[in-house]
């Protein structure tokens, strides 16, 4: 499976079963995702920073709510969470996703604003790769993001939704999260290829360069 960061919280997963684009964002974020093609699009919250579905080419199946889905050979579970730190309905709903492809479980937390509950953690059990917001705003900042990683215990962690030279939202940079995780000298890479056999034995942080 090949994973590319397209900007903000948007990633593209290319797997044998299907190509998935999660949380496509429009140019108001500062990023231009191009026009990636996909079989499946997942949407965590309904705003232009996360649901720019028309920016995705092809005729993808769009998933924007909780439930279990089988599409193009991929298994996807949507988990209802909250966008705000208070975990109240008025803060807005967020949907986190667990995507199963190529014998891997990938968790995309979307714009989650709180540490997941024990029930939500159980639904995310055995996640191999965790995509987590770390830059704050309405979503997780570094300390609760690191706590979430420690609770879910993925093998690989890929931070999203933090300040870059392209990002328009006022967010923290990535350094605070890396410090919380005890990760030093992490070199950004343009994309990452992941297989079950390549997973590390202990949790490892991978930083991706945004695709330009």
- Residue 18 corresponds to which tokens in the numbers above? 């299907």
pLDDT at 22: 98
pLDDT at residue 203 greater than cutoff 90: yes
Separation CA 52–CA 10 (nearest Å): 10
- What residues pair up with 41 in beta bridges, in sequence order? 21, 62
Asked if 122 and 152 count as a contact pair (C-beta separation under 8 A), the reply is: no
pLDDT at 12: 98
pLDDT band at 44 (very low <50, low <70, confident <90, very high): very high
pLDDT at residue 2 greater than cutoff 70: yes
Flag whether 137 is in a domain: yes
Separation CA 25–CA 10 (nearest Å): 6
Asked if 62 and 68 count as a contact pair (C-beta separation under 8 A), the reply is: no
The string of pLDDT tens digits covering residues 47-94 is 999 999 999 999 999 999 999 999 999 999 999 999 877 777 767 899
Instruction: Check residue 137 and give left, alpha or beta (phi > 0: left; psi -120 to 50: alpha).
Output: left
Flag whether 212 is in a domain: no
Query: Percent of the chain, pLDDT > 90?
Result: 92
pLDDT at 29: 97
Flag whether 73 is in a domain: yes
pLDDT at 90: 67
**19-39: average pLDDT:** 97
**149-167: average pLDDT:** 97
Which residue range forms the structural domain that includes residue 170?
A: 2-205
Flag whether 136 is in a domain: yes
pLDDT at residue 40 greater than cutoff 80: yes
The string of pLDDT tens digits covering residues 160-190 is 999 999 999 999 999 999 999 998 778 899 9
**2-20: average pLDDT:** 97
pLDDT at 85: 76
What average pLDDT does the chain have?
95
pTM exceeds 0.85 for this model: yes
Flag whether 210 is in a domain: no
Separation CA 59–CA 125 (nearest Å): 31
- End-to-end C-alpha distance for the chain, whole angstroms: 20
Flag whether 211 is in a domain: no
Q: How many domains does one find in the chain?
A: 1
pLDDT at 87: 72
Separation CA 198–CA 208 (nearest Å): 17
Strand 204-205, strand 156-160: pairing: parallel
pLDDT at 186: 85
Q: What CATH number has the domain bearing residue 155?
A: 3.60.15.10
């Amino acid at each position: 499976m090949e994973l590319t960061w397209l900007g903000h919280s948007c990633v593209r997963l290319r797997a044998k079963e299907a190509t998935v684009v999660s949380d496509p964002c429009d140019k108001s974020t500062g990023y231009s995702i191009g026009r990636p093609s996909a079989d499946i699009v997942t949407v965590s919250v309904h705003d232009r920073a996360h649901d720019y579905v028309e920016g995705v080419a092809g005729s993808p199946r769009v998933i924007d709510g909780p439930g279990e889905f089988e599409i193009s050979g991929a298994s996807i579970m949507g988990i209802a969470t909250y966008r705000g730190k208070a975990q109240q309905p008025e803060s807005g709903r967020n949907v986190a996703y667990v995507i199963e492809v190529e014998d891997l479980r990938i968790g995309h937390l979307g714009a989650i604003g709180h540490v997941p509950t024990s029930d939500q953690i159980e639904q995310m059990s055995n996640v191999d790769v965790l995509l987590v917001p770390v830059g704050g705003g309405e979503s997780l900042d570094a300390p609760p993001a690191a706590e979430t990683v420690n609770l879910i215990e993925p093998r690989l962690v890929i931070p999203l939704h933090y300040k870059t030279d392209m990002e328009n939202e006022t967010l923290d940079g990535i350094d605070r999260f890396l410090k919380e995780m005890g990760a030093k000298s992490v070199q950004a890479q343009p994309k990452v290829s992941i297989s079950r056999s390549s997973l590390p034995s202990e949790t490892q942080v991978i930083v991706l360069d945004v695709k330009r």
